């Protein structure tokens, strides 16, 4: 057989559209997933039952169901139950964001718990409220410790974006499928996507290694 990357390069505009789609859903899920994860993580840390139990149920539910199932459920099942339809982007973003929130919530909880009680004492003795102490004293220190783990989550979210192709959202994998079926070149099309992902992710992984080393040096 022969490798024929020309047929892929000829469709580079389609791949570019796909790349934009990938970046878009990655950005949405990164912000929504890690943002919601912080709220859920605070719930997991909270001693208030009305906050702790829903957060815990959320984490358990979304950690123990496959993202792909969640995406398909939001796209195909939710519109049957609700009086509105939902776009592929919305369904995929919901699935990936909620799943990432569940995983990152545990990172936040562990990070917050890793800060010594003395820091809480110092903040509270100044008359800070819980939220002031959290925002000004605890989270800034905890986030520093969490950076490698959160960077890992970001990498996961980037890879999970390909699952959006299951509901025909236009992203890199979806475009590769299209190119492959039109040009009968699945080897080249999927290889190209794999290479693109590797080229984006490998530097990110190096960044986590760097951050881990730096953190280890600081402590």
Partner 1 sequence: MTILHVQGLAKRFGSHEVLSGIDLDVAKGERIAILGASGSGKSTLLRCINFMEMPDAGTVTLDGKVVGRRERELTAVRQRIGMVFQQFNLFPHMTALGNVMEGLRTVRRMPKAEAAARAERELARVGLSDKAAHYPAHLSGGQKQRVAIARALAMDPELLLFDEPTSALDPELVGEVLGVIRALAEEGCTMLLVTHELGFAYHVATRVIFLADGAIHEQGTPDEVLKDPKKERTRAFLARHKEFSL
According to DSSP, residue 76 is labeled I
CB of 214: closest distance to partner 1 in angstroms? 15
> What is the spatial distance between Cα 106 and Cα 108, in angstroms, rounded to a whole number?
5
| Residue 84: Cβ-neighbour burial (10 angstroms; 0-12, 13-18, 19+) | exposed
Question: Quick check: 146 binds partner 1 (CB under 8 A)?
Answer: no
Strands (E), 126-218: none
For residue 211, the minimal CB distance to partner 1 (Å) is 16
- Give the integer Cα–Cα distance in Å for 168 and 113: 41
Binding region for partner 1 (CB under 8 A) out of 7-15, 49-57, 135-143, 164-172: 135-143
Of 105, 137, 160, 189, the one binding partner 1 by CB under 8 A:
137
- Window of 23-31, 51-59, 115-123, 155-163 that interacts with partner 1 by CB under 8 A: 115-123
217 scored as a contact of partner 1 (CB under 8 A):
no
Kindly state whether residue 141 participates in binding partner 1, applying the rule CB under 8 A: yes
Distance of alpha carbon 37 from alpha carbon 44, whole angstroms? 10
Residue 203 near residue 213 (C-beta atoms within 8 A): no
DSSP annotation of 83 reads: S
Alpha carbons 145 and 9: distance in angstroms, whole number: 42
Is residue 46 a contact residue for partner 1 (CB under 8 A)? no
Residues 54, 66, 140, 186: which binds partner 1 (CB under 8 A)? 140
Tell me if 177 contacts partner 1 by CB under 8 A. Answer: no
Q: Which of 12, 122, 184, 213 binds partner 1 (CB under 8 A)?
A: 122
User: Smaller CB distance to partner 1: residue 72 or 143?
Assistant: 143
Dihedral of the CA atoms 58, 71, 23, 186 (nearest 10)?
Answer: 140
Residue 183 contacts partner 1 per CB under 8 A: no
- 29 sits in the region (left: phi over 0; alpha: psi -120 to 50; else beta) called alpha
Helix (H, G, I), strand (E, B) or coil at 16: helix
Minimum separation from the CB atom of position 133 to partner 1 (A): 9
Q: Which of 114, 132, 181, 206 binds partner 1 (CB under 8 A)?
A: 132
Q: Which of 1, 118, 199, 216 binds partner 1 (CB under 8 A)?
A: 118
- C-alpha 41/C-alpha 100 separation (Å) is 12
As given in the structure block, the two tokens for residue 176 are 């590769």
Q: Which span (99-107, 130-138, 162-170, 173-181) binds partner 1, by CB under 8 A?
A: 130-138
Residues that bind partner 1 (CB under 8 A): 118-119, 121-130, 132, 136-137, 140-141, 144
């Amino acid at each position: 057989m022969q490798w024929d990357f020309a047929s892929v390069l000829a469709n580079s505009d389609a791949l570019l559209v796909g790349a934009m789609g990938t970046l878009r859903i990655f950005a949405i899920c990164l912000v929504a997933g890690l943002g919601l994860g912080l709220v859920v993580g605070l719930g997991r840390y909270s001693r208030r039952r009305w906050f702790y139990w829903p957060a815990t149920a959320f984490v358990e539910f979304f950690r123990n169901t496959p993202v792909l199932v969640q995406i398909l459920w939001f796209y195909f099942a939710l519109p049957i139950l609700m009086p509105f339809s939902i776009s592929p982007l919305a369904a995929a973003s919901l699935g990936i964001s909620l799943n990432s929130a569940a995983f990152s919530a545990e990172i936040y909880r562990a990070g917050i718990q890793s800060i010594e009680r003395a820091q809480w004492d110092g903040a509270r003795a100044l008359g800070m409220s819980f939220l002031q102490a959290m925002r000004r004293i605890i989270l800034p220190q905890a986030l520093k410790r969490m950076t490698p783990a959160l960077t890992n989550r970001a990498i996961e979210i980037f890879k999970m974006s390909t699952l959006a192709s299951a509901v025909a959202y236009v992203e890199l994998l979806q475009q590769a499928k299209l190119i492959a079926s039109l040009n009968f070149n699945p080897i080249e099309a999927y290889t190209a996507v794999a290479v693109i992902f590797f080229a984006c992710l490998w530097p990110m992984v190096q960044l986590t290694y760097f951050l881990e080393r730096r953190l280890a040096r600081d402590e």
